[in-house]
Amino acid sequence: MPHTYIASFVHCVFATKGRKDSIPKDRQEHLWAYLLGIANNLHLKTLAVGGTTNHVHVLVRLPATMAVAQAVQKLKANSSRWLNEQGVTFQWQEGYGAFSVSPSLLKTVQTYIRNQEKHHAKRGFEEEFRALLEKSGVAYDREELFAA
């Protein structure tokens, strides 16, 4: 077979340093657009971007040549630099979550990401992230999950 065919959809989640409310509400839409631009430059197909004042969700289709860690590192580094250039003292927390998504569930995950503000009226980031880990079958240490 002379070509490579891949359908690698990943729901990435990363939080602000200390999970503090560091993303100003009036900058959120600009940040989501900037993340979309970064992703486009990396040849990632972006299906949804959203979040709140303390975290971001990005649903992307990775190209065959890019690892999840590389994509997230570039998204975080470039968006952090941009926010600081906008006058926002900003850092992302070390680490991230990345969850594979079946093509049959893409619409569900897109809706979930686009409705973050409404979703977080009911539960906080920590509870949401634990639920994502558990639903995905990712083992974690409750004591260490949000340390540092």
| Residue that the structure tokens 């600081």 belong to | 84
What pTM was estimated for this model as a whole? 0.93
Question: CA 54: distance to chain centroid?
Answer: 11
What pLDDT, on a 0 to 100 scale, did the predictor assign at position 146? Answer: 84
Domain 8-136 classified CATH 2.160.20.60? Answer: no
Q: How far apart are the first and last CA of the chain?
A: 47
- Domain boundaries of the chain, sorted by first residue: 8-136
Low-confidence residues in the chain, pLDDT < 50: none
What pLDDT, on a 0 to 100 scale, did the predictor assign at position 120? Answer: 84
CA distances 103 to 29, 47, 51, 108, 144, Å, are: 26, 11, 22, 10, 32
Q: Locate 123 and state its tokens.
A: 């539960």
What pLDDT, on a 0 to 100 scale, did the predictor assign at position 1? Answer: 64
- How much is the CA Rg of the chain, to the nearest whole Å? 15
pLDDT, tens only, 13-50:
999 999 999 999 999 999 999 999 999 999 999 999 99
